[in-house]
């Protein structure tokens, strides 16, 4: 015999879930926007390692010398060189470094040493109230997608999808980093002009999936990491957002599966626009035939009826934009540009 009260309750819960759509993407309401003070020559940048371990000493030396060449003093977080399996220390050690560097009044900015994996594991151990009280520039990409989106979601702080310490700091990447975080400019970002000696350059090309302009807060980063946060309280609100996505070393069928996760979670229904960066080494793999990346992106983004384009200069590539996570921006999907509405730092 059916328990009517339980049946009614279950039906109501199912109705909420089925009707949730975009609402399911709204894990928490967006908090008031908060900007960190801009970085200045002579400021101290702390290197942290919230994700994977490094196994050689030289990358630490190169990262330190790079930041010094930019005019900064460098502080190594206490557990920067720790290792626990493939991780750069235990969850507690890695979270303790995040918390300590935000609490240290002599540290002005915080940069991840590298990506890897494992950033999601330590999110519950981060002191978000302390970050709210001591806003600072926080930068990184790849696995740092977890931390930079979680910090923004929990505090309202604009964080940065930027090169990590171990990245190649070429002229293009340095210029974007300095204009965004030191000069406090509000630039219009576009791809570097190709310097190939050919009639039709291949580098820096964009592909418009659906033309148009759109405005909204910028959110996202690495597709695999963002998807692994699905439904948690560390996901930001995607309502009216511009979603940026990139990835590396994923078979196309996995890219498809991860995009389907975002779709059925209601994220795509909430968006104002989409910008796709580099999907580096995302190949068909072995076995049966596969959709192409073109077909996968068309399947998910063309039906949305919102501006979308691919080929933006961020991700696992040498020349990178620095992107402000949480800051309102405007995109032009035909021109392949992303314009900041205001400076990302104070």
Catalytic residues: 142, 246, 316
CA distance 325 to 345: 12
**In sequence order, which residues have a C-beta less than 8 Å from that of residue 210 and are 6 or more positions away?**
301, 302, 304, 305, 306, 307, 308, 333
Q: Which helix (H) or strand (E) holds 323?
A: strand 323-325
The owner of tokens 């990409």 is: 141
Going 91 to 226 to 34 to 20, the CA torsion angle's sign is negative
- Distances in whole angstroms, Cα of residue 312 to Cα of each of 41, 110, 125, 317: 29, 25, 33, 11
Helix (H) or strand (E) holding 276: strand 273-280
Q: Please state the length of the chain.
A: 346
For 34, which DSSP code?
Answer: B
Scan for tokens 């991860």, then name that residue: 258
């Amino acid at each position: 015999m059916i328990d009517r009260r339980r049946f009614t309750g279950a039906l109501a819960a199912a109705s909420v879930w089925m009707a949730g759509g975009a609402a399911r993407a709204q894990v928490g309401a967006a908090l008031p926007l908060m900007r960190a003070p801009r970085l200045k020559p002579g400021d101290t940048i702390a290197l942290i390692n919230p994700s994977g371990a490094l196994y050689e000493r030289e990358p630490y030396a190169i990262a330190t010398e790079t930041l010094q060449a930019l005019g900064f003093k460098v502080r190594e977080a206490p557990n920067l060189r720790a290792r626990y399996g493939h991780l750069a220390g235990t969850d507690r050690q890695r979270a303790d470094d995040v918390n300590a560097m935000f609490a240290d009044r002599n540290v002005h900015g915080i940069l991840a040493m590298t990506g890897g994996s494992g950033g999601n594991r330590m999110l519950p151990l981060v002191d978000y109230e302390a970050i709210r009280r001591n806003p600072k520039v926080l930068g990184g990409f790849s696995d740092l997608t977890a931390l930079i989106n979680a910090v923004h979601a929990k505090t309202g702080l604009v964080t940065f999808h930027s090169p990590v310490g171990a990245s190649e700091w070429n002229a293009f990447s340095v210029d974007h980093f300095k204009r965004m975080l030191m000069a406090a400019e509000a630039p219009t970002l576009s791809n570097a002009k190709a310097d190939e000696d050919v009639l039709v350059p291949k580098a820096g090309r964009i592909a418009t999936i659906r033309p148009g302009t759109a405005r909204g807060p910028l959110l996202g980063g690495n597709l695999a990491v963002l998807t692994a946060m699905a439904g948690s309280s560390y996901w930001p609100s995607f309502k009216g957002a511009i979603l940026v996505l990139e990835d590396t070393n994923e078979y196309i069928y996995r890219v498809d599966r991860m995009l389907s996760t975002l779709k059925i979670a209601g994220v795509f229904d909430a968006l104002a626009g989409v910008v796709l960066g580099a999907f580096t080494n995302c190949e068909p793999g072995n076995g049966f035939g596969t959709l192409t990346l073109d077909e996968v992106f068309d399947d998910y983004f063309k039906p949305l009826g919102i501006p979308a384009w691919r080929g933006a200069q961020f991700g696992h590539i040498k020349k990178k934009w620095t992107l402000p996570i949480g800051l309102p921006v405007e995109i032009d999907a035909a021109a392949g540009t992303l314009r900041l509405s205001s400076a990302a730092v104070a």
